[in-house]
């Protein structure tokens, strides 16, 4: 699913990642661990195409395609989903509109066809009921006034609707109570066609997910077992 080769990353000429080599297997649940500042968030943001970070050398191969020079939008349309820690608030853009545009872009990229409102509403209602999300949330501005746990549930709604090939979740358990954490675990387990790469500091949460493999980072390098 994902192969990273000899990756070196910097920001404003400051080295952040050094010689990262990593393979994420198809349909696996792969955990990144390490102390704060070890490079975990830098790595997942680099994979997703965050332009804040500069790839100095190395390759990122996704589904046998070199995406090292692709921008974040193209990577997302190719099937890379990022659930970040600090998601922005977007006043004036409703959750409903955001999800509709996201689904429409993915369908057009994958099939060349347009997404009908009927198809969108049917899938939205199914996912909303699965997550027990109130209808009134859909008419609120994206992330404005939402608690940490509510933002996680909106992230899960977007995850279910877009059905990515690779879902990267940066500390999905952070700011989520026990009920929301269980909802995250249940959602991941109900998406066997999606590969997951996630960051977590909580062993209990990782254990609930039956992690396939764990990679540990320290000071921008992968720790050798």
- CATH number where 140 lies: 3.40.50.300
* Local confidence band at 138 (pLDDT 50, 70, 90 cut-offs): very high
pLDDT exceeds cutoff 90 at 195? yes
- On whether residue 61 sits in a domain, the answer given is no
Closest CA to 168 of 88, 103, 85, 83: 83
What is the reported pLDDT for 225?
Answer: 61
| Mean pLDDT across the chain | 92
d(CA 138, CA 127): 12
- On whether residue 64 sits in a domain, the answer given is no
Q: Tell me how many domains the chain contains.
A: 1
What is the reported pLDDT for 200?
Answer: 87
- On whether residue 124 sits in a domain, the answer given is yes
What is the reported pLDDT for 86?
Answer: 75
Contact between residue 60 and residue 2 where contact means Cβ atoms under 8 Å apart? yes
Q: Percentage of the chain surpassing pLDDT 90?
A: 80
Containing structural domain, residue 124 = 27-38+47-53+76-222
- On whether residue 13 sits in a domain, the answer given is no
- On whether residue 5 sits in a domain, the answer given is no
- On whether residue 59 sits in a domain, the answer given is no
């Amino acid at each position: 699913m994902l192969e990273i080769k000899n990756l070196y990353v910097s920001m404003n000429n400051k080295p952040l990642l050094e010689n990262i080599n990593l393979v994420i297997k198809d349909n696996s649940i792969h955990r990144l661990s390490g102390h704060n500042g070890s490079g975990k968030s830098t790595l997942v943001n680099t994979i997703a195409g965050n332009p804040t970070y500069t790839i100095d050398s190395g390759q990122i191969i996704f589904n046998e395609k070199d995406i090292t020079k692709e921008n974040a939008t193209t990577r997302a349309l190719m099937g890379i989903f990022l659930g970040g820690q600090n998601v922005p608030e977007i006043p004036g853009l409703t959750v409903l509109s955001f999800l509709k545009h996201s689904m429409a872009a993915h369908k057009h990229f994958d099939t060349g066809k347009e997404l009908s409102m009927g198809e969108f509403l049917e899938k939205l209602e199914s996912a909303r009921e699965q997550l027990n999300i109130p209808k009134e949330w859909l008419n609120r501005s994206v992330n404005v006034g939402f608690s940490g746990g509510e933002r996680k549930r909106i992230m899960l709604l977007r995850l279910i609707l877009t059905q990515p090939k690779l879902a990267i979740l940066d500390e999905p358990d952070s700011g989520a109570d026990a009920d929301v954490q269980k909802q995250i675990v249940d959602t991941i387990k109900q998406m066997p066609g999606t590969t997951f790469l996630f960051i977590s500091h909580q062993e209990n949460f990782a254990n609930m997910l039956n992690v396939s493999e764990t990679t540990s980072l320290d000071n921008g390098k992968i720790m050798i077992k």
